[in-house]
Amino acid sequence: MLRDITLGQYYRADSVIHRLDPRVKIVATFAFIISLFIVKNFIGYLIAGLFLAVCIRLSQVPPRFIFRGMKTIFFLLIITMVFNLFLTAGEPIFTFWKFQITKEGIKLAAMMGIRLVFLITGSSLMTLTTTPNNLTDGLESLLGPLKKVRVPVHEISMMMSIALRFIPILMEETDKIMKAQMARGADFESGSIINRAKNLVPLLVPLFISAFRRANDLAMAMEARCYRGGEGRTKMKPLIYKKRDFIAYLVIVLYLVLIVVMGRILFR
């Protein structure tokens, strides 16, 4: 029952996008998000949409996986669009009681909608094509310069990858403890909210205990292998830029230039 929830939503495939260095993908995603906020006209969104469509095509991820992420933001999307539609001042087109829809409102609502959809699609594409471990590796490397100002970048990324690694384990554990308590007559599905919260105690206590036990064991195992933080630590699979990564960077730069130039040309 609980296994249905997936957090790391990596889709296994062997595409150009999958093979790209995670740093490229993180930078590209950021560039893409920034470009969405620079753009102020529909031509710009058309370019962004095309860029995204090509990337999705190249990634070999079936579109339904990408749009699955849309479900979670559906309400946010609707609320944003409705607010923009009704609360933007301007030239009224349609008036109903106290509400009025303006020309500017329609335009803004459409833009906001497209912006949100592209934003989620773009970032889903990154998480779908990059394993969680690669993602944290990439982040660690990109945030590397922050070490100079004493930000414990390695430790943070290590914690992130451990946390990600433990999600499925804890899921399984929850499922097991839940069943064990159900075998003793526990009820997790009915009753008032307060009762339900109370009924969670027999689930949460063993779960916390097992999480602490696992954390302890892992710490011991790391200690036994002489782990002592990131200083001087080498990687089994170091991130090395290849030719395709430079090409990808070039594509991103070209894309940004195109977006900015198009905006300038049309709004001079």
Partner 1 sequence: MSIIVNHVNYIYEEDTAMAHPALIDINLQIPEGQFIGLIGHTGSGKSTLIQHLNGLIKPTSGEIFYNNQDINEPGYNKKVLRSQVGLVFQYPEHQLFETDCFKDVCFGPKNMGLPKKEVELRAYTALKQVGFEDEYFYQSPFDLSGGQKRRVAIAGVLAMKPEVLILDEPTAGLDPKGREDILRLISDLHAKMRITVILVSHSMEDVADYVDRIIVMNKGRVAFDAPPKEVFAHYRELEEMELAAPQVTYCMQDLAAAGFDVDTSVTTLEEAKKEILKAFGKC
Q: Which residues would be at the binding site for partner 1 (CB under 8 A)?
A: 3, 176-177, 179-187, 201-202, 205-206, 209-210
Q: Which residues pair with 99 in a beta bridge?
A: 96
Shortest Cβ distance from residue 197 to partner 1 (Å)?
Answer: 15
**Cα 173 from Cα 161, distance rounded (Å):** 19
Cβ proximity to partner 1, 33 vs 200, nearer residue: 200
Shortest Cβ distance from residue 99 to partner 1 (Å)?
Answer: 44
Shortest Cβ distance from residue 73 to partner 1 (Å)?
Answer: 24
**Cα 172 from Cα 210, distance rounded (Å):** 12
Kind and range of the H or E element at 92?
A: strand 92-96
Cβ proximity to partner 1, 213 vs 228, nearer residue: 213
Cβ proximity to partner 1, 213 vs 233, nearer residue: 213
Shortest Cβ distance from residue 70 to partner 1 (Å)?
Answer: 20
**DSSP secondary structure, 164-185, as one string:** HHHHHHHHHHHHHHHHHHHHTT
Which amino acid type is present at position 198?
Answer: K
> Alpha helices of the chain — where are they, by DSSP H?
16-19, 22-38, 42-59, 63-87, 103-129, 132-142, 153-183, 193-199, 201-224, 243-266
Cβ proximity to partner 1, 58 vs 207, nearer residue: 207
Q: Which residues pair with 95 in a beta bridge?
A: 100
Cβ proximity to partner 1, 13 vs 151, nearer residue: 13
186 token code pair = 């526990």
Shortest Cβ distance from residue 174 to partner 1 (Å)?
Answer: 12
Shortest Cβ distance from residue 203 to partner 1 (Å)?
Answer: 8
CA atoms within 13 A on the CB side of 27: 20
Cβ proximity to partner 1, 7 vs 254, nearer residue: 7
What φ, ψ does residue 216 adopt, rounded to 5°?
A: -60, -50
